[in-house]
Structure 1
């Protein structure tokens, strides 16, 4: 017996197969189109987050350069996709953060506008300054966001590099040429070191100040001129046009910038020569193999030193910051406490205490003869204090020609005080003539001070031997002055901190006459009356007495209380007597001065009590 056929289950099976096919198609479509779009959006969001991280890194680097207060910051290199139970994700997206060698930043035509002589030497020696630097670059390795830019940090500017398409400045602006509190400012921050990290997770950047910070007393002023304005030239992935039009270097809006252009494959910024520019620079290290810059020059605030004084010297690098390396400094001559070679500490400073005087003492960066790498100065003697101690008096030296000594120690010489002239008789004056200047400080004679002698021509005065001498315990520095007879006059100079000048001329043979003399002096007081009687006998070998004066000074107060002229004296021999009434019960110094017709004079003093 044959059973009847039943086909009701076929429809169910076919329906199940169709439903499964639809599900497969849906899942395949979702995997092929939706999952990639969602993952691409995740990568885009990560790209935005990385730029935010890099802005934080940039600010930390600038903070380290400016104040030394940089701190570690993290950058999330890559991203992971959400777990999908029925779908397949690509491997996590990774990223690379690394340093790339950018090249050299060149600052040209910069002239130092300050007064520090060693800084001036440095800029005269290196009119073109070169600073090597690197850029910090983030490169994503996304699976889907294929047009994602690389992010580049250089010279304080963070921008996006879309490869051959374009470069676009990111959130930050440039720092090269700005206006800081009304002052045109050049700010150069270079990067040094080797950094490379690749992966998905976060990595840390810890800025290290290798030269700086620049917000300190080391900032200087630079200037250019219309014919040779300051230029800043540097390599960059971003075009000169982008630097000019997409940052604050735009000349119409930045009065300090004259032009931005491409020059030999690099960006060149030409500054407006109207301004002086504050120059701030720093080197910041990231990663490993960081290196502080070498020393560039040595300087000190002290133009002179004093025996017993400690002077501090600063060794700076070309960023104008104190070096952080240990640098050897040699002192010559070594009239100092301790060794003549010392090393700077981490603050770039070294100190020497002086034990002896010296002229043109030299503090030098060891074994380097470049002019900017040594500093010359004088070491002066310490002033003796009344109690026998030593003081470091920094008041100016007083230098004065000792004309009385010159006249008294040479024949045929006369000094005219009316026109400050030393007159030489060619017949009787010696050749050479011994001359000297006295050096004092606060009226105290100074020993061990170098005095330079010079003249403004070689007509009458032919020179000094030696041209410099050291003062003795009386404050004198005696040298020989050569001379020729002739017409006219020559000015001679004595210099030792302060200076003094004296006119020298010759006269016809026999024209110089002998000075007058005071042969006798009598100064008496009538007890308790306040009356003083002054008498003097005068003479002149040439018979040309002219006049005399009497000056009375109170010994206790130092005040001049009386002066009078005696015009009646004349001839070759004369005398006078004068009665003077002044205060009682005081002590006085009475000075008599006699003059001849040639202007020569002589004085004598007596002390009397009323």
Structure 2
């Protein structure tokens, strides 16, 4: 037998080699093509997740206006791939979250030609006011998905920068109708990781209050400058539909790198609500020092000799928000002008410093001045004291001569009240137990809610000025607040009942004063629904992607009214829900927003047309206040926005006192 030339085993060996080669090629193809494709899908899915987390971060920042609290948001900077038995993954991808421009004063926003009244006008006098800010960006570092965008937040806008262009994912809240809301980002943030990181957004300067500003004249409109990575044309698109935006331009500037300056010019002749906020992220967040001192509330009511009056001031920072823990020094100017119970007071949590002004019998009956400052006490010794400086305030207090119900004292004449039962226009069963110094008034038995009051001087003089005031305006108010004696030595005013109680009515002249105590009974208080109503012609509806409706309501009564609920009905058959998804704190960031002095809102996933619902936060309208109501967005069954223009809307407002009011209007489109 010959075995040397036997070749029968070679086919098996060749087959094994070919099979092994096939496995090697298949594994190589899997490693080279399948694994990257699967990892790219993981990276793409992660980027979509991060977009949602960046929306949360953006919403945390824009919700700080209105006095928000510190909010923690989590951002997943990187991701991991699924484990594999044989194939290998590259290292886990990471991402970087950081602030840009917060340390560069050229990155800022500014307001020019905005003027305010009162002490606030010492600061907001039309000059340029600039505030440092910055952007927050997320830059992913994927192994495979090389088309991922750079995500950027700036000036309330969130957008993605791709190689081929920019896509905005959350719009602007800088200008919304007559409201200007600007949020400065402060601090240093630099995080790079393959995992999640927590970002604390805390309010450095924030409050619900706004200030009212307007242009000084038609030739100097209010302008807002933004240092932005976006072009003026993109901002023009973002602001499209804002009725008070006159122009958006890109003036020359020294903005660094990829930034440029965008100027928003607003219509003159409009009073705007300006709200400024500063938020901190990361480290090296700076606090805001006091910027100016202003008077809280209206003019100080007159004080009678021997009595006292509280005078409240407020310390604010550059963002017009209150600053606590600041020492305020004050003094009374001149001799025989009264004194202060304390000459230095620290501001409380609301930024308020309250001084008690005291008088004696020797205090001269005249208008005296209280000078206050947040500077050193030496500033009070300056002659003359400059109350126009931002950190100085001068408050006028009028001191009236002493006296009581029976007359005014040892001047050229005495002043007293006439018994209300003897005054023309009064009488009947409505008045009882009346004299020159007291009277009981049964309003329920009267023909109306007013009572004529007459003061007289003896001996008779014509042309003497008389001031009228009340001790408790919640019980009764007087009008007019001043008068002049006639040839009979009399001056009259009218007391209007507000609620049951006792009110002292003061008549005062330079020579003395008189007080009559009026006990008011059986007042039928007006319900909130009788006080608050729709302002005719105020309704408008936006036509376009944003299906928004605005209208005004006004409280014409003498008491505050609190709105706690709402129902909206529409003749438009395609109006199914009202739903808004952007988030935020002002008009245009809620399903319903009521821009009152105490603003209210409805914040839900979706409001169904025709249903009655409670507001998320109640709105309170002060007496005489007019407030804008914004509803956003009207949607159809498919969730798409639909205009409410030229459809009849019926709105029912529900109040804290249990009453409700219903009105209808047809908003024209714009």
Q: Aligning the two structures, in what range does the TM-score lie when normalised by the shorter sequence?
A: 0.5 to 0.7
The 1:21–1:88 alpha-carbon spacing in structure 2 relative to 1, beyond 3 Å, is: same
Compared CA separation, residues 132 and 4, structure 1 to 2 (3 A): closer
| Cα distance in 1 for residues equivalent to 2:510 and 2:118 | 29
User: What residue in structure 2 maps to residue 482 of structure 1?
Assistant: none
Q: Residue 329 in 1 paired to residue 328 in 2?
A: yes
Relative distance call for 1:24 and 1:128 in structure 2 (3 A) is same
Q: Is the 8 A contact 2:175 2:181 kept in 1?
A: yes
Q: Tell me if the contact between 2:174 and 2:181 (Cα under 8 Å) persists in the aligned partners.
A: yes
Equivalent of 1:355 in 358, 378, 382: 358
1:255 corresponds to: 243
Which stretches in structure 2 are left out of the alignment for 5+ residues? 253-259, 380-385, 406-454, 462-485, 490-508, 517-670
Higher strand share: 1
Hey, what's the Cα distance between the residues in 2 that align with 1:90 and 1:231? 51
State how far apart, in whole Å, the 2-side matches of 1:234 and 1:217 are.
23
**What is the distance in 2 between the residues matched to 1:129 and 1:46?**
41
Task: Determine the structure 2 residue equivalent to 1:107.
Answer: 111
CA distance in 2, matches of 1:4, 1:21: 29
Q: Deviations over 1:171-204 (max 9, x none)?
A: x11111113xxxx211111111222221022112
Distance 1:219 1:4 in 2: 107
Deviation for aligned residue 1:82: 0.9
CA positional deviation for 1:78: 0.8
Contact persistence 1:107–1:130 (CA under 8 A): yes
What are the residue-to-residue correspondences of 1:202-601 with 2, within 5 Å?
202-213=196-207, 216-223=208-215, 225-245=217-237, 247=238, 249-250=239-240, 253-264=241-252, 265-300=260-295, 301-304=297-300, 306=303, 307-323=307-323, 325-333=324-332, 339-356=342-359, 359-367=368-376, 371-381=389-399, 438-442=510-514
Structure 1: gaps (5+ residues): 388-397, 405-416, 421-436, 445-610
Whether contact under 8 Å (2:149, 2:160) holds in the other structure is yes
2:174 equivalent among 173, 176, 183 = 176
Over 3 Å counting, the alpha-carbon distance change for 1:439 and 1:48 in structure 2 is farther
> Which structure has the bigger radius of gyration?
1
Change (3 A) 1:385 1:40: farther
Q: Does 1:201 align with 2:192?
A: no
Deviation, structure 1 residue 385: 7.0
Q: Secondary structure at the match of 1:290?
A: coil
What secondary structure, in the 3-state scheme, does the structure 1 residue paired with 2:133 have? strand
2:369–2:395: 8 Å Cα contact kept in structure 1?
Answer: yes
Three-state SS of the structure 1 residue aligned to 2:11 is: helix
Give yes or no for contact 1:222–1:279 (8 Å, CA) kept in 2: no
> What is the Cα deviation at residue 219 of structure 1?
3.6
1:539-580, Cα deviation, whole Å (9 max, x unpaired): xxxxxxxxxxxxxxxxxxxxxxxxxxxxxxxxxxxxxxxxxx
| Secondary structure of the structure 1 residue equivalent to 2:86 | coil
- The CA deviation at 1:378 is 3.1
Q: In 2, distance between residues paired with 1:175 and 1:167?
A: 19
Secondary structure (helix, strand or coil) at the match of 1:111 reads coil
**Distance 1:276-1:201 versus aligned 2 partners, 3 A rule:** same
Q: Alpha-carbon deviations, 1:358-397, whole Å to 9, x = none?
A: 822211122476622221123455875769xxxxxxxxxx
The answer to whether the aligner puts 1:191 opposite 2:185 as a matched pair is: yes
SS in 2 for 1:319: coil
Q: CA distance change for structure 1 residues 270 and 11 in 2, over 3 Å: closer, same or farther?
A: same
Q: C-alpha deviations, 1:262-305, integer Å up to 9, x for none?
A: 11231111112253222122111122222232222211225336
How large is the RMSD of aligned CA atoms in angstroms? Answer: 3.3
Could you tell me how far apart the structure 1 residues matched to 2:4 and 2:300 are?
Answer: 129
SS at match of 1:376: strand
- Secondary structure (helix, strand or coil) at the match of 1:8 reads coil
Residue 273 to residue 381, structure 1, CA distance change in 2 (3 Å): closer
Q: Distance in 2 between matches of 1:58 and 1:28?
A: 44
* Alignment partner, residue 608 of structure 1: none
TM-score w.r.t. length of structure 2:
0.53
CA distance, structure 2, for counterparts of residue 309 and residue 350 of structure 1: 14
- TM-score, with length taken from structure 1: 0.58
* SS in structure 1 of the partner of residue 358 of structure 2: coil
Identify the residue that residue 40 of structure 2 maps to in structure 1.
Answer: 40
Counterpart Cα distance in 1 of 2:340 and 2:114: 40
Partner of 1:123: 124
